[in-house]
Amino acid sequence: MTLLNTAQTNRTVDAQLQGVSSLPVALPADRAIAADAEMLSAQLHAMRNRLFPPTAQKTLRKFTSGEAAKLIGVSDGYLRQLSIAGEGPQPETGSGGRRLYTLAEINALRRHLAEAGGAKAKTYLPHRDPSANEHMQVIAVTNFKGGSGKTTTSAHLAQHLAMAGFRVLAVDLDPQASMSALFGYQPELDLTGNDTLYGAIRYDGERRLLRDIICKTYFDGLDLIPGNLELQEFEHTTPQMLADRQHGTQSVEQQLFFARVQAALDTVADDYDVVVIDCPPQLGFLTLSALCAATSVLVTVHPQMLDVASMSQFLFMTADLLAVVREAGGELNFDFMRYLITRFEPNDAPQQQIAGFLRSLFGERVLTNSVVKSTAFSDAGLTKQTLYEVSRDSFTRATYDRAFESLTSVNSEIQGLIFKAWNRPG
C-alpha cells in the first residue's frame, strides 16, 4: 500500500467520526493525526469554494493596457493604435474606455507582432530556437532548509517567465505540494494517484507518459506537473531498485534513478522553453534526480547565520552525492548556478553583514538582486495567490511596489542568465 493510499484509508475511517477533536476517548496517534488532516482538508476545500466560486477554479486577473504594453515591450499608444486599426485581438473595454487584456490576448499580440519579422521578433516572442542550439532550460530551485523561500521563488519565477512570453512548465517535486496549492490544486482532493512526476519516473509497468500528466493552468503559457504525497514513493522504491540491480535481479538496461527525470522531461522538450522545478526540502533521490536533469540551479538562502551554516552542510552533501552520480555516468553541466538571497531585510544590520559575507565569498554567483521580506507575500498567500496575481489596489501601494520591484528585478536577472546561456542578447 502506498503512502497516499494509507493516508486516504485513515481519512476514510475517521471521516465517519463526528466531532473527533472533542471525543473523550483517546485515539491512536495515527488516527488522531489523520482526523486532524481530514478536518483541515475539509476546511481548505470550503475556503477554496468561497474564494473561487462557482467552479472553485482559479482565474488570472486582466491587465490594463499600460501593464500589457510593458509586458510586451511597446508603448501604450502603440497598443491603442493596433486596437483602433483592428489588428490583433481586441481587448475588453471597461468604464471610461479603459482597455483590459487577458494574458492569452497579450500572448496573441506577441505572436501578431512577431509574425511581422524583423530584428524585434524574438523580443516580442522569446521562444527558444532549437536550430540555434537554444536548449530547454531546466532550473532546479533547491535548499534543504525550510523557510528559505524556495516555493515562493519557484512559483513567481515560473509566472514571470510566462508573462514574459516563454512557454513554461512548472514541476512540483515537493511531496508537501505547496506550489500546487498556489496554483489552485488541493492535492488530496484533486489528484487521485499516479498523476505527479512519480507517475512518469516509477520503475514498474504503471509508468505513464509525462505528456498525459501535465495540467494546464489559468496562466496562459504556463503548465504544471502537480505534486502530492505519492512523490515520496520514489524515495522508497529507488533503494530497492539499486539493490536489485546490484544483485543482478533487475535488467541493467533499467534506467538509473538520476537519469529518469531528465528522460521524462526530454519527451516534452519541444513544447517548452523553460522548466522550473520546486525541489523537496531534503537531499534525497528526488532532489538528486532534479539536479541531474537541471541545466541551471538556484539555491535560495535566508541571510541568517544558522541558515548559512545549514547551507554549508547542504553544499558538502550535494557535492559528495553528485560526485557519486558523476562516477556512475551522470552528466553534470550547469549553464549557471546562483545563490539567491531571500526574505531580505535591508535595514537589518546582521542580515546586511551576512549578505555582504556571501557576496565577498561567492562573487557573481550570488544574484545581484534579492527578494525582500514583505507582508505582501503573506497577504497574497491568504487567498492562495502570488504577487503577480493580486491587484495593486489590494495593498498599501508602497508595500506592494517594494515587493513587486524586488521580485521583478530578481526574475529579470534570471531571465538575463537564460538569454546568456542561449548566447542571445538580454
Question: For 6-38, how does the pLDDT look when each residue is reduced to its tens digit (9 = 90+)?
Answer: 444 444 434 444 444 444 456 665 566 667 767
Domains and CATH numbers, the chain: 63-124 (1.10.1660), 128-422 (3.40.50.300)
Whole-prediction pTM value? Answer: 0.85
Query: Which residues share a beta bridge with 337?
Result: 297
Q: Which of 100-109, 113-122, 136-145, 393-402 has the lowest mean pLDDT?
A: 113-122
Long-range contacts of 329-335 (CB under 8 A, 24+ apart): 329/256, 330/256, 330/258, 330/259, 330/292, 331/292, 332/291, 332/292, 333/295, 334/294, 334/295, 334/296, 334/297, 335/137, 335/295, 335/296, 335/417, 335/420, 335/421
Higher pLDDT, 205 or 274: 274
* Mean of per-residue pLDDT scores for the chain: 85
Q: Which of 211-215, 241-245, 248-252 has the lowest mean pLDDT?
A: 248-252
Angle between helices 305-327 and 285-293 (to 10 degrees): 70
- Please write the tens of the pLDDT for every residue from 286-323: 999 999 999 999 999 999 888 888 888 888 888 888 88
